[in-house]
Amino acid sequence: MNKTLFEMEEHETIQSKKDMILSLFNSGTKEIETIAAISGAKPSYVGSVLQKEGLIDNYFDLYTSTAHPMNIYSKHFQGKLGFKDVFTARQSMRNLEQSYNYFATQQDRAGQHHTLEM
């Protein structure tokens, strides 16, 4: 069977990773790890795509945009932590210690826990 360049019996659709992620999510696959494994994308990219599309609002990792704070405590640390050199790391540790002590004086155990997680 001879086909010209413009004649095709079957048309193969190539999806972008983003399209595949959205398709999987919309067809019922809700686990980020599963979507990442099927699509070949990193979990952080899957979470980012789904969050930007408004499909989820509870995914956070190292690469999640700070435009979406994890909880009310996240904004307390925004722009205050860094570890690029020893001086900055020491400042960050002081900030964490001050935050932990502040939450202790407020009897805010959730704030203390979040500080420890940071």
- Distance (Å, whole) CA 72 – CA 55: 21
Residue whose C-alpha is closest to residue 118's, from 105, 107, 98: 98
Percent residues over pLDDT 70 in the chain: 80
Spell out the CATH class of 1-68: mainly alpha
Mean pLDDT of the chain: 84
pLDDT at 63: 63
Q: With a threshold of 0.85, does the pTM exceed it? A: no
SS (H, E, C) 6-28: CCCCCCCCCCCHHHHHHHHHHCC
Lowest-confidence segment of 21-30, 67-76, 89-98 by average pLDDT: 67-76
Per-residue model confidence as pLDDT tens digits over 22-35: 999 999 999 988 99
pLDDT on residue 44? 84
Q: What residue segments make up the domains of the chain, in order of their start?
A: 1-68, 70-118
